[in-house]
Structure 1
């Protein structure tokens, strides 16, 4: 066996005179991939447009060469090369050959004699039996046998959905087909000329290695520090490089489950990887995504990924499954977790730093995990309301995660007191000051809705107890409910006259104290009328806080029942004016301190 590393200057024509297979442990085909909004997938288009730009510089007698990169291969036995690095561009080049042939066939034009053999090689034995072999074979399960459809000229009928690779191969083929139709104008002569340039002048360096291990090391060197591939791909390579041959199939299966879990949750793999490290290991919060791979190279003793790559991959898979559940508002077991769902309603889709602490606590008992999620929700609201920067609260979350890793279930209460609850106490006075002066424009719409919904839900739970509907904050934040301005922003003359002094002051109208949550159907009838007329409609609301706006005492039903006990803690206003707005804002602020469990600092600590 040749023990040397052999770099070879190849063009596409000579490249596809050989056979290649992408081993089943390799990453999927990801060029052409789009996100749920239909964005992304520019790699194939860029690949073609870059080649076409050079093609346009060709003269009648000469043309510039165009270099598209390197591929790393290994031939341990037989005539087939294992493709260790470069499968994205190699697969795209192969699909381009398929699409060029298909277009010429569709145009009923002559297909260059060499072209079919660059896609499928036919061989006839002495018995007259003909076999056909694809020049490129994708062996990972995610691709199925779909590449054969493109190779055999059935690209237009190939499946467009199924697995990740099947979707991406379809998107890539479609992009190439559109390129031929639009840029090459469906002109047979132009298609053949571009084919000639593509196969003769597009160059690639093929690095042939004696063993897979050597190939993997070269792959790592070429892609060091995330150039060309990201840390997730490089980590996968690192694990396979340290794995034993008999572990490859198991490692491949684990890695596929891991990436599928993150992909299906529409999450970013690098964000997950960074959060996992911050949650599970003693990692500085300043770790950037582009530095993750370097961290793994320097800290193998922390993760043990070099000595036991399969075991490490298993731990990473467990974390990925939990992370995917968190992204769906679920606990580790995949059950709805109110604290996580509510934090999504509070923070929107972009705020996910709290996942770091959830990952650190994923081994807690279900009851304790719920406590952690609940306390996290409360603390996240305090951070966001008081304007704590994302960088700062992420730092505090990471510190808490490092502490959580060192405790048992029995110590959770003490941990919460010293971390999340202590954070809320530290910010208690700022929390109160912010709420007392809060105006609508100081909070994003969904966060203001969360605030009012949470206050309204709390009163209902206190009065009526738990139920399927009342337990779900989303039932309160849902589109069927409105944020009502008691003195409307466009109040009628009669309403302003009844309100009195300050009615025209936008600061009063946009105060938290001037807002309540009410069903949309009731709100439609309210419009911009007088408070004395509105309070009749407020009485019809199912939300006790809204129902009691004008007369709480009217809703007492007994002496010692929980509804009456709750109602007696509420304040109400028969008339509505600037003083009432201030009073109600103070009332809601005090209520918020209870709802979000804000322990006020003692006088001695002030």
Structure 2
């Protein structure tokens, strides 16, 4: 065989050979839109001119490493698999319409081959060796009902088959002749380039050249092939196992693979900025630094170890899967999983720190995220900042080292926002933050005061993520005539009703007693709450100069509730917030 053999062939000629998608290849990923795009293009060309030819791209193959006489598909398996699914769907559609004479179509799916002993055997023209395909391909080949649930590949193959069946129904209805003509057009007039080479390594290099800069593939796909291209044959099983773990686990947590890859690079090598389309080039150019080609298995093992920690962080736990209150708090601050994950760069960089130091890092990250959230700092800038900080974090060995690091990073940044933080906290209302973030901050304030007074370690989720805790509007959201009479002008002003100074946390049972009553009645109920910050809305516990009294020494009580009361309480809470989130004191 020539070193590289290039053939311009039809789909029908292509399906005269047998092909295998090796176990190390990526799974079938095409969705409905991609399948329809291919089918619609072919159909449009057929309608335009039945004798015209339609080009669908190229395939890269090499002799199979597991079966004599077959080819391993190195590139183009998504299109090839889709065409194979199309043939199965055409066979099933024609069979369902009672058509006979389907031998030619069936032969395009399964054909006679000769084994190493010279005996005839039946083989499908396409075999999937990766485990994610399960039994669905056998069901497809045999014309049986397909498994609907399972891995990503199973769901995608199931979806592709049904998409093709819908396409055939919409395009040809019950016309057996039209479906046959379409099959004939695909096999005779749809063309592609098959690039064959004598060995796997050369095939992967051709694949890399065709997909230069990631055209048509993302960096994870190219990285995977680069790893296999540089691995020894005996390393394939380990690579396949680790890579499958990475892909499966990212899917389970609904995480974008490229984001994880970027954060892995940022946290490990301190790269300050790298766009998605720059990832693969960076990996290739920095090979000597990262050792990707010299030891691909070690590289993937490092990725796997980082991913295990990453998954724990996403779930509010530390690197080892233990509960971490600060990471749990971040999940309450950002309930939408994909809304903010840049902090994972720093967590990955610090995942091997001593538990006490790592906990301090988590505390500072939570505090920093809320400060930046409140002052409207652009979240996208965090990636660059955290990537740069990762290098400094890698030099931290002791708690003293960490304190220096925190002073030079978190503290410096928060000092820039100190005045703005105080002002914006004081002015918080429902236009500033969504309700769940308002509940988060009230929970943090209430938890802080309780811990100062009583000690204990009740988690934040018991304050702001519990059915037993309600958000209380001191000035009711639906004021009645009594409230208007007592409060005066502005009783129905949403800026006052939703002001942070007008909000508190109360137990469900107490909230039912409060209702929409005026403050003159509510104030006697607040002291019954177990939350000290809520109790002192009206009166301070009379137990002398104790830690309880000291915990609320900077916050006053109110005998009347009016516009000025709301503003005053908002100022007091803003001062308390500067302590809770460790924001340097301002003149105000």
Q: TM-score, normalised by structure 2?
A: 0.93
Q: Assess if the C-alpha contact under 8 Å between 1:57 and 1:63 holds in 2.
A: no
Change (3 A) 1:212 1:295: same
Q: Assess if the C-alpha contact under 8 Å between 1:72 and 1:86 holds in 2.
A: yes
1:111-122 equivalences in 2 (<5 Å): 111-122=101-112
Aligned match of 1:446: 436
Q: CA deviation at 1:361?
A: 0.5
Of the candidates 560, 579, 584, which is equivalent to residue 599 of structure 1?
584
Aligned match of 2:311: 324
Q: Assess if the C-alpha contact under 8 Å between 1:489 and 1:509 holds in 2.
A: yes
Of the candidates 69, 93, 102, which is equivalent to residue 103 of structure 1?
93
Instruction: Say whether 1:426 aligns with 2:416.
Output: yes
Of the candidates 559, 569, 573, which is equivalent to residue 574 of structure 1?
559
- In structure 2, C-alpha distance between the alignment counterparts of 1:326 and 1:191, rounded to whole Å: 52
Q: Assess if the C-alpha contact under 8 Å between 1:112 and 1:192 holds in 2.
A: no
Aligned match of 1:8: 7
Of the candidates 236, 259, 268, which is equivalent to residue 224 of structure 2?
236
**1:287-321 deviation line (CA, Å, top 9, x unaligned):** 10111111112111221101111111111111122
Aligned match of 2:247: 259
Instruction: Say which SS state the counterpart of residue 578 (structure 2) adopts.
Output: helix
Q: CA deviation at 1:540?
A: 4.4
Aligned match of 1:49: 40
Instruction: Say which SS state the counterpart of residue 172 (structure 2) adopts.
Output: coil
Moved more, 84-93 or 492-501: 492-501
- In structure 1, C-alpha distance between the alignment counterparts of 2:88 and 2:98, rounded to whole Å: 15
Of the candidates 492, 514, 520, which is equivalent to residue 480 of structure 2?
492
**1:387-413 deviation line (CA, Å, top 9, x unaligned):** 111233333222211211222244222
Instruction: Say whether 1:461 aligns with 2:460.
Output: no
Q: Assess if the C-alpha contact under 8 Å between 1:104 and 1:111 holds in 2.
A: no
- In structure 2, C-alpha distance between the alignment counterparts of 1:459 and 1:473, rounded to whole Å: 16
- In structure 2, C-alpha distance between the alignment counterparts of 1:71 and 1:474, rounded to whole Å: 57
- In structure 2, C-alpha distance between the alignment counterparts of 1:296 and 1:590, rounded to whole Å: 48
Change (3 A) 1:123 1:258: closer
- In structure 2, C-alpha distance between the alignment counterparts of 1:235 and 1:474, rounded to whole Å: 44
**1:247-290 deviation line (CA, Å, top 9, x unaligned):** 111111111111122111110010111111111114232x1011
Aligned match of 2:30: 31
Aligned residues: 583
Aligned match of 1:362: 351
- Extract unaligned runs of 5+ from structure 2: none
Instruction: Say which SS state the counterpart of residue 357 (structure 2) adopts.
Output: helix
- In structure 2, C-alpha distance between the alignment counterparts of 1:254 and 1:482, rounded to whole Å: 46
**1:407-439 deviation line (CA, Å, top 9, x unaligned):** 224422221222113322332222112122333
Instruction: Say which SS state the counterpart of residue 294 (structure 2) adopts.
Output: coil
1:302-313 equivalences in 2 (<5 Å): 302-313=289-300
- Extract unaligned runs of 5+ from structure 1: 33-40
- In structure 2, C-alpha distance between the alignment counterparts of 1:49 and 1:337, rounded to whole Å: 52
Q: CA deviation at 1:564?
A: 5.1
- In structure 2, C-alpha distance between the alignment counterparts of 1:399 and 1:281, rounded to whole Å: 10
Q: Assess if the C-alpha contact under 8 Å between 1:383 and 1:393 holds in 2.
A: no
Change (3 A) 1:217 1:125: closer
Moved more, 22-31 or 420-429: 420-429
- In structure 1, C-alpha distance between the alignment counterparts of 2:513 and 2:180, rounded to whole Å: 70
Aligned match of 1:36: none
1:19-418 equivalences in 2 (<5 Å): 19-32=18-31, 41-58=32-49, 62-75=50-63, 78-122=68-112, 131-154=121-144, 156=145, 158-285=146-273, 287-347=274-334, 348-349=336-337, 350-410=339-399, 411-418=401-408
Q: CA deviation at 1:95?
A: 1.0
Q: Assess if the C-alpha contact under 8 Å between 1:100 and 1:195 holds in 2.
A: yes
Q: Assess if the C-alpha contact under 8 Å between 1:329 and 1:336 holds in 2.
A: yes
Q: Segments of 4+ in structure 1 off by > 6 A?
A: 124-129
Instruction: Say which SS state the counterpart of residue 137 (structure 1) adopts.
Output: strand
**1:510-556 deviation line (CA, Å, top 9, x unaligned):** 32111222345544554433111223443444433223321222xx5
- In structure 2, C-alpha distance between the alignment counterparts of 1:3 and 1:464, rounded to whole Å: 81
Q: Assess if the C-alpha contact under 8 Å between 1:454 and 1:473 holds in 2.
A: no
Instruction: Say which SS state the counterpart of residue 471 (structure 2) adopts.
Output: strand
Q: TM-score, normalised by structure 1?
A: 0.90
Change (3 A) 1:481 1:246: same
Instruction: Say which SS state the counterpart of residue 431 (structure 2) adopts.
Output: helix
Q: Assess if the C-alpha contact under 8 Å between 1:13 and 1:200 holds in 2.
A: yes
- What is the root-mean-square deviation of aligned Cα atoms in Å? 2.5
Q: CA deviation at 1:112?
A: 3.0
- In structure 1, C-alpha distance between the alignment counterparts of 2:103 and 2:583, rounded to whole Å: 78
Q: Assess if the C-alpha contact under 8 Å between 1:76 and 1:210 holds in 2.
A: no
Q: Assess if the C-alpha contact under 8 Å between 1:457 and 1:476 holds in 2.
A: no
- In structure 2, C-alpha distance between the alignment counterparts of 1:502 and 1:125, rounded to whole Å: 89
